[in-house]
Amino acid sequence: MILYNIKGLRANCVQIFIPLNDMNTSLKLSLDTRRKKKDSTYPIILRLSHFRKTTSISLGYSISKQDWDHRKCKVKKSYKEVTSISKFNNFLKKEKAYAIDIINDLYDKKKLNFMSIKDVKEKINRTSTYDSFLNFGYSLVDEMKQSQRYGNARSYYGVLGILKNYNKGKDLKFNELNYEYLTKFERHHLSNGNSYNGFASYMRTIRAIYNKGIKEGFVEKEAYPFLLYKIKTRPTEKRAIDIALIKRILRLDLKVNHELFNYRNYFIASFMLYGISFMD
């Protein structure tokens, strides 16, 4: 198939596929201004046209009108929700290129002209073929238990449970866990009075699961959300206690059957070992 850029049709935005001189299929990166969200943003989409019918394919991101360059069909530098605008725009271009490759492949196999627009969209939209992030995560938990890595297993299981609760019990696919999802998850966590550092520990676990998913072929590395989303932390407030209190704890005489006997000894052991963690 020959890919044409048509003059006067915003060549940066639209790719027109012209098999046998008959324009059948086109693809455009666009902001869907018909679907305003509650936060006054609009979805970034691929606008697919096929035999004079049109549909949209969501890319999982939403921005305001002011941050979208309608002429060049890309995100402006004024958008502050990502650490790198160039990386974000490159990601959008890759999503578009992925869709173009699928359309080209369908044409080369002589299937495109016999497909409905719904069929073409389903081929492009990878949601139906993406694996479950949650199920993959739980499979890692089972592997950790089998290798007796119970601490890691508990940590992974806890984070997966938090994600499942946030998702209201619904499954979570790899492609749904994108930059927009992570930022909303962060806002939800912080709005409940939780800390940045606590959330950062969750995100490191999520990132580790995602990286393993890429290595095992469950998701493409191009979909990696942590290229755009950066895990944030805050300096931990010092929580040192006075040396006089330490001495009182050391001199404290407790009976073996006292409910605080073991706790006091654990604390002293940690203190004498230069603050070694209880897990170690």
User: How far is residue 115's CA from residue 106's CA, in Å, rounded to a whole number?
Assistant: 9
**What pLDDT does residue 277 have?**
67
Residue 239 has pLDDT above 80, yes or no: no
User: How far is residue 11's CA from residue 179's CA, in Å, rounded to a whole number?
Assistant: 28
Mean of the per-residue pLDDT values of the chain: 84
Work out the pLDDT band at 266, boundaries 50, 70, 90: confident
Residue 4 has pLDDT above 60, yes or no: no
Work out the pLDDT band at 16, boundaries 50, 70, 90: low
Residue 249 has pLDDT above 90, yes or no: no
Residue 1 has pLDDT above 50, yes or no: no
**What pLDDT does residue 17 have?**
52
- On whether the CB atoms of residues 219 and 175 are closer than 8 A, the answer is yes
What confidence tens digit (pLDDT) does each residue in 113-161 have? 888 998 898 888 754 456 789 999 999 999 999 899 999 999 999 999 9
**What pLDDT does residue 130 have?**
61
Using CA atoms, how far residue 16 sits from 27, 97, 109, in Å, is 7, 13, 18
**What pLDDT does residue 18 have?**
44
Alpha helices in 8-116 (DSSP H): 85-108
> Strand 68-69 vs strand 14-17: parallel, antiparallel, or unpaired?
unpaired
pTM: 0.52
Spans of all domains in the chain: 3-129, 133-227, 243-272
What confidence tens digit (pLDDT) does each residue in 61-91 have? 899 999 999 999 999 999 988 888 999 999 8
**What pLDDT does residue 197 have?**
85
User: How far is residue 205's CA from residue 162's CA, in Å, rounded to a whole number?
Assistant: 12
Residue 254 has pLDDT above 80, yes or no: yes
Which tokens go with 215? 């290595």
- On whether the CB atoms of residues 128 and 122 are closer than 8 A, the answer is yes
pLDDT over 70 percentage in the chain: 87
User: How far is residue 202's CA from residue 279's CA, in Å, rounded to a whole number?
Assistant: 18
**What pLDDT does residue 3 have?**
44
What confidence tens digit (pLDDT) does each residue in 160-201 have? 999 999 999 999 988 889 998 999 999 999 888 888 888 899
Highest-pLDDT range among 14-28, 38-52, 219-233: 38-52
- On whether the CB atoms of residues 125 and 96 are closer than 8 A, the answer is no
